[in-house]
Amino acid sequence: MSDEEQEPKPKKPRVAKAAESGDPAAPKPRARKAATPKTERIASGSGRSSVQAVTEDPAPRAETRRVLSVAIGVLLIDQLLKYYVIHILKLDRVREVDVFYPWLNLRMAWNQGVNFGLFASDVEVMRWVLVAVAVAVCVWVWIWLRNTVHSAFAQISAGLLIGGALGNVIDRMTYGAVADFLNMSLPSWQNPYSFNVADIAIFAGAVGLFLQPPLRRERSETAGEAETKPAAKTSAKAAAKSAGNSATAAGAKPVGKSTSSRSKADDKTRDGAGK
């Protein structure tokens, strides 16, 4: 040996040697688990359970976007027109402007009640009661849409109703009354009432919801049926496979008998050749 000290070679761990030797009893190194999508076990009708990936239904998101888009659009148009009429045209001072007389006119009117001046009152409490009722109606329509499946027509109608109701709520909170400025009359008849864009949206939305087709089942039932369909298909395939295996097992011949018969035939052939 040389005087220089030789560095000892690093020893391989026993686990690695055992793995290289092919020993099945040797512990194998742990492998990192790959990220798997979230799954859910669903019981089938045959008693077995099938595992399938759970994905979020994009339908509620699309419906929510449609309703919100219509409601926000109605609210913006209503408030912009009211701002233009009140603060730029000064219609609250001028009172009347003929646009296409007598078909379309601007007639300023402050409505402290609902349509056609119903429930109008100077009492401050009544103002906030009407605000609370309008907000409650909007919340109820929103929850109703979220819990059931509706057509695009019903969603647009609900957006019109919600946007119009919120537009009048902003008027009551800002001015203390709803700003009505649109008037439509006939040559032989002068309409004494005025309205606004929010009133048109509320009326159209309410009529649309009333005339919509019959409601379909609740969203939870629809989602449940959609989840059970893949499970039913899986159970049907498993049943067909098991039936095929049983039929194959019933039609198969015993291997031992066929082998013995072949050996006897070979012995007879050899005896005949020897003779």
In a domain, 164, yes or no: yes
In a domain, 91, yes or no: yes
Q: Of 78, 199, 266, 271, which residue is the catalytic one?
A: 199
Residue 272 is predicted with a pLDDT of 54
Residue 177 is predicted with a pLDDT of 92
Joined together, the tokens standing for residue 74 give 């109605």
In a domain, 223, yes or no: no
Is 199 in the active site? yes
Question: Which residue ranges of the chain lie beneath pLDDT 50?
Answer: 4, 15-16, 18-19, 35-37, 39-40, 42-47, 49-56, 217, 222-223, 226, 252-255, 257, 275
Q: Of 3, 92, 171, 180, which residue is the catalytic one?
A: 180
pLDDT tens, residue by residue, 197-234: 999 999 999 999 998 765 554 555 544 554 555 555 56
Interatomic CA distance for residues 161 and 205, integer angstroms? 5
Quote the domain boundaries for residue 117: 64-218
In a domain, 148, yes or no: yes
**DSSP per-residue string spanning 121-180:** -S-HHHHHHHHHHHHHHHHHHHHHHHHB---HHHHHHHHHHHHHHHHHHHHHHHHSSEEE
In a domain, 183, yes or no: yes
Domain count for the chain: 1
User: b/e string for 73-102 if b means 16 or more Cβ within 10 A?
Assistant: ebbeebbebbeebbeeeebeeeeeeeeeee
Interatomic CA distance for residues 203 and 144, integer angstroms? 19
In a domain, 212, yes or no: yes
Residue 45 is predicted with a pLDDT of 47
In a domain, 116, yes or no: yes
Q: Is residue 127 a contact partner of residue 211, using CB atoms and an 8 Å limit?
A: no
Helices (H) and strands (E) in the chain, counts: 8, 5
Cβ partners under 8 Å of residue 171, min gap 6: 82, 177, 178, 179, 198
Is 180 in the active site? yes
Q: Is residue 112 a contact partner of residue 120, using CB atoms and an 8 Å limit?
A: yes
* This prediction's pTM: 0.58
